[in-house]
Amino acid sequence: MVLKSLSTDGANVSATLDAHCRSLRVTDWFDVLEEIGKTDRWLLALEVFRWMQQQKWCKLDNGFYAKLISILGKNGQLRLAIWLFAEMRHTGCRPSTSVYNAILSAHARSKDKQKALIKTLGYLEKMRQKVRCQPNVVTYNIILRVCAQAHQFDKLDELFKEMQAFEIQPDICTFNGILDAYGKDGLFFKMESVLKQMRCNKCKPDAITFNTLIDAYGRFGMLVKMEQTFKVMTHAKVKPTLSTFNSLIYVYGRAGHVEKMEWAFGKMPEAGIQASLVTYEVLMSGYGNAGQLTKMKHSFHQMIQAGIQPNISTLNTLVNAYCSEGLVDEGEALLSNADRIGLNPTDASYSILFRAYVKEKCFEKLEKLMKKMKSIGIRPQTSQISESLQGYGLELQMKAMDVDTTSCTDQEKAGIYC
């Protein structure tokens, strides 16, 4: 009822809360704050929290501070989370392990992972010095994740050994996080060692565990181990998820194993799992890589019939497939008609067509494309364009067209947003 009232456009937050204050207990207000957090309306959560602070009947404890800090951190409001953590101590409310875990989690979500690691290790040291704030398994799970994101594997190993030395038993989240960290960097010996330790600890692998292993083996081309892992997952009666099948389809498609890719896609209805936009995109990409454009087009129509709307990465996947097979006119037609399906091509979309024109030496079309890009505010300036022109001995044309080839992002290098 409170949330419904607060969701009304133009609702006065303070007046709405005043109207409900007598009908709800303090614990109910915690639930209100939690529900607001699920909607990512962090500013509303902060207003509710401020209103509660002003009520004489309401004494906010560690749980409320931890919840709001968590909400702020999840929504990228790290500075506000730090400020609230400091304010809490000034009001006389002493931090607990849960509050420290909340501020650790907020730092873990920041973009600068090296700085986040320094900050979280600093908080860990402070926690060790406070009897009522001793680190627990959640604390270590957060910091281990930051170590992985910062690629500080020596520190990750050190903390993993340390938590066990302090008799803090790792849980499924601990093991899954470490497996993912090693798997993404191709550290398979360490990954498999952790898997053995997981079994020794009698910690049963779940779907996330198997998905992590399947994704790691698949992305590094270790298809035999990937397939063995999927078989073990099936025998262990762990139900595959959407991520499981997306990984299998992606890996098989990239490796050119179309039949196996179709097998994985066909298994999804049996498992009671509906294909997503990502599923169809990796399926179409697999067909495109294999030059099976008719099947790719069929998959696109199948996706539309399933009620899944394409986005710009879908468009780029199709355009890239056509252009790779030398069917530049089809790729051009897709971009020209993109507005019919509510899509606006990006610089990455035009870059795919640009490279195709260069490869086919369609100079008139290339010049028209560049003029169109400039007219809509997209200036061709990627190093990939420079490499394309130079690769076909077209440096003079490049200079004549005044192409600025300075910098490019990883997404521009890929040509496709995935």
Q: What are the tokens at 291?
A: 């030059």
pLDDT exceeds cutoff 70 at 411: no
Rounded Cα distance, 230 and 220, in Å: 16
For the segment 341-348, the average pLDDT, to the nearest whole number, is 87
Please state which of the ranges 22-26, 43-47, 94-98, 316-320 shows the lowest mean pLDDT.
Answer: 22-26
Rounded Cα distance, 106 and 358, in Å: 47
pLDDT exceeds cutoff 70 at 402: no
Structural contact between residues 354 and 366, judged by C-beta atoms closer than 8 angstroms: yes
Degrees to nearest 5, angle at CA 34 with 177 and 9: 125
**Secondary structure (3-state) at 414:** helix
Q: What angle do helix axes 62-74 and 97-108 make, rounded to 10 degrees?
A: 10
> What pTM does this model have?
0.82
Rounded Cα distance, 217 and 60, in Å: 48
What are the distances in angstroms from CA 382 to CA 162, 346, 378, 389?
A: 47, 13, 11, 11
Contacts of 75 (CB under 8 A, 6+ apart): 40, 42
% of the chain at pLDDT higher than 70: 88
Q: In sequence order, what DSSP letters do the residues of 274-332 get, joined into one string?
A: ---HHHHHHHHHHHHHTT-HHHHHHHHHHHHHTTPPP-HHHHHHHHHHHHHTT-HHHHH
Exposed (0-12), middle (13-18) or buried (19+): which is 30, by Cβ within 10 Å?
A: middle
For 73-131, what is each residue's pLDDT tens digit? Answer: 999 999 999 999 999 888 888 899 999 999 999 999 999 999 999 999 999 999 999 98
DSSP 8-state code for residue 381? -
pLDDT exceeds cutoff 50 at 204: yes
Q: What are the tokens at 385?
A: 């364009």
Q: Which residue has the higher pLDDT, 345 or 142?
A: 142
Q: Which residue, 411, 262, 407, is CA-closest to 348? A: 411
For 29-73, what is each residue's pLDDT tens digit? Answer: 888 888 888 888 899 999 989 988 888 887 888 899 999 999 999
Contacts of 167 (CB under 8 A, 6+ apart): none
Rounded Cα distance, 127 and 295, in Å: 58
Structural contact between residues 393 and 405, judged by C-beta atoms closer than 8 angstroms: no
What are the distances in angstroms from CA 379 to CA 115, 255, 349?
A: 34, 34, 13
Q: For the chain, how big is the Rg over CA atoms in Å? A: 27
For 364-398, what is each residue's pLDDT tens digit? Answer: 888 888 888 888 877 665 554 555 555 545 444 54
203 φ/ψ angles, rounded to the nearest 5 degrees: -100, 110
Structural contact between residues 165 and 140, judged by C-beta atoms closer than 8 angstroms: no
For the segment 125-143, the average pLDDT, to the nearest whole number, is 95
**Secondary structure (3-state) at 244:** helix
Rounded Cα distance, 248 and 265, in Å: 9
Enclosing H/E stretch for 365: helix 363-375
At residue 339, the pLDDT reads: 85
Please state which of the ranges 13-22, 123-132, 301-310 shows the lowest mean pLDDT.
Answer: 13-22
